[in-house]
Amino acid sequence: MPDSTAQHDVVRDQAEKIRASGALGRSRSYVRLLEFLVACTLEGRTPKEHEIATEVFRRGADFDPSQDAMVRVYAHHLRQKLDNFYSGAGKDEPQRITIPKGEYRVVVSAQEPAEQEPAPAARRSLRQPLLAAAAAVLFAAGIALGWWLRPPAAGAPAGSPSAAETVAESAIWRPLLDDPLPTLVVVGDYYIFGELDEAGNVGRLVRNFSINSSDDLENYLMYGADVTERYVDLDLTYLPRSAATALRDVLRVLFTDDKPVRIAAMSELDASDLRTHHILYIGYISALDKLYDFVFESSALAVGETYDELVERESGKSYVSEAGMPADYRNYRDYGLLSTFPGPAGNQFLIVAGMRDAGLMQTAYAVTDPRHVAEIERAAPGPADGKAPPSFELLYEVAGFGRTNLDAVIVHSGPLEPARNWSGRLSPN
């Protein structure tokens, strides 16, 4: 029998080479899983699914392997990543490590020739069409955007985690990244329709906050005989300019993981998505539409007379945006809302919203910047063990100038009661 000490050395050496090669992708989930299985193997024990779920993926004690295949799915994908390493960068290694099917332990075996498979980098490149599709959506909405992901900071130590990777490990982002459930990024768009001139041509585009779909317009025309001949459905929507900046920031964090990400406008959101995806909303508070009741049902805040105002339900304190008509020569106040809570089927909702552009851009910046994320975790109420999914809201008061967010301070924080969101008992504002 091979010397166990020598085998342990092989396990450690191979695990380090695999990690350093990038074969595990940018997701820390696979790194943590491999490191945990290696540690258990060196201790001479084989962990159970429940232990892996709680220790590696930070699931609660109520995790049920018979109902949730998360550990099995991750183990399957990890085996594939090991195979890819040994058919590519590690093809000349004399020995290899494997994870036997149906087991959660690491074993050493002799390296055997394998057919060449696509390198992991080739699969990761599939994200580029996703980026292109997202950019196309934004450009189609009339948003001019220089679209790129910033490179790592100059002078950063080799192998050190990027800002996005650091943020991805936070309690805010882990529920979206630490399981196989796909993420749906919902961007708040606005329905617009055409107004005809005397010649029957579309003279201008109209945005009416009470008309948010073709059905709304049809109902409006049905009961407004004096405007029936003036308005026409053009099947058009538009996105706020700030949505592009916010989308760029959050995609950096989402793409630290290999999970699938889909981007859709709010007008395209299907009710079934609320159970089958993690939901990440980006947009104005006024464009929450189908998500509005879920965000504010258990909130301590309510929308005031307009969407440019939020009011604390108990104290009556009002937060009003000044961004509606900002002067070119002075600062103004805007507000950004960050809200996160569990969904109806073990998924997670993350709401990144603003009253106007400055508030939205600041909220997206705050939730993707390591320093601000640390501040959020200190300010947010929640369980001390950090294992339960987060459920809280924060409101930022943002100093804006032009269309730029300059600085911000948290002016409200409080817990949410997610059970109320899905009870069907919706209260008025």
Report the distance separating Cα 295 and Cα 290, nearest Å: 10
Residues 402 and 300 both lie in one domain = yes
Local confidence band at 132 (pLDDT 50, 70, 90 cut-offs) = very low
Q: Which residue has the higher pLDDT, 147 or 228?
A: 228
pLDDT at position 355 is 93
The pLDDT value recorded for residue 403 is: 67
Has residue 311 been placed in a domain? Answer: yes
Residue with the two structure tokens 């600041």: 362
Whether residue 256 lies inside any domain: the answer is yes
Same domain, yes or no: 160 and 202: no
Do 95 and 135 fall within a single domain? no
State whether 270 and 394 are in the same domain. yes
pLDDT recorded at residue 125: 40
Q: What is the mean pLDDT of residues 219-234?
A: 72
Question: Tokens 């196309």 label which residue?
Answer: 136
Mean pLDDT of the region 137-150: 39
Q: Residue 312 pLDDT > 80, yes or no?
A: yes
% of the chain beyond a pLDDT of 90 = 34
Q: pLDDT value at position 1?
A: 38
Q: Which of 205, 209, 367, 210 is nearest to 282 (CA)?
A: 367
Ramachandran quadrant class, 267 (left: phi over 0; alpha: psi -120 to 50; beta: rest): alpha
* pLDDT tens digits for range 250-304: 999 999 888 889 999 988 888 888 989 999 999 999 999 889 999 999 999 999 9
* 428 inside domain: no
Q: Please give the share of the chain, as a percent, with pLDDT higher than 70.
A: 80
Residues 282 and 355 in one domain: yes
Pick the residue with more confidence: 209 or 354? 354
Whether residues 13 and 160 share a domain: the answer is: no
Residue numbers of the domain that contains 228? 196-237
Rounded average pLDDT over 115-121 = 47
Other CB atoms within 10 A of residue 377 CB: 14
The predicted pLDDT at position 7 comes to 85
CA 96/CA 110 separation, integer angstroms: 6
Q: Is residue 429 part of a domain?
A: no
DSSP class of residue 268 equals G
Can you tell me the mean pLDDT for 95-120? 76
Residue 59 sits in the same domain as residue 26: yes
* Type of residue numbered 322: E
Mean pLDDT confidence for 205-211:
78
- For residues 241 and 249, give the distance between their C-alpha atoms in angstroms, rounded to a whole number: 14
Asked if 205 and 328 sit in the same domain, the reply is: no
Single pTM value for the model: 0.66
Are 205 and 83 contained in the same domain?
A: no
Evaluate if residue 126 carries a pLDDT over 80.
Answer: no
Q: What is the pLDDT of residue 139?
A: 41
Within this chain, do residues 228 and 261 fall inside the same structural domain, yes or no? Answer: no
49-75 tens-digit pLDDT: 999 988 888 777 888 888 777 788 788
- What distance lies between CA 388 and its chain's CA centroid? 18
Q: Are 83 and 145 members of one domain?
A: no
Q: Is 192's pLDDT higher than 50?
A: yes
Q: How confident is the model at residue 127 (pLDDT cuts 50, 70, 90)?
A: very low
Confidence of residue 414 (pLDDT cuts 50, 70, 90): very high
In a domain, 426, yes or no: no
Is residue 143 over pLDDT 50? no
Same domain, 310 and 182: yes
* pLDDT for res 310: 95
H and E: helices and strands count for the chain? 15, 15
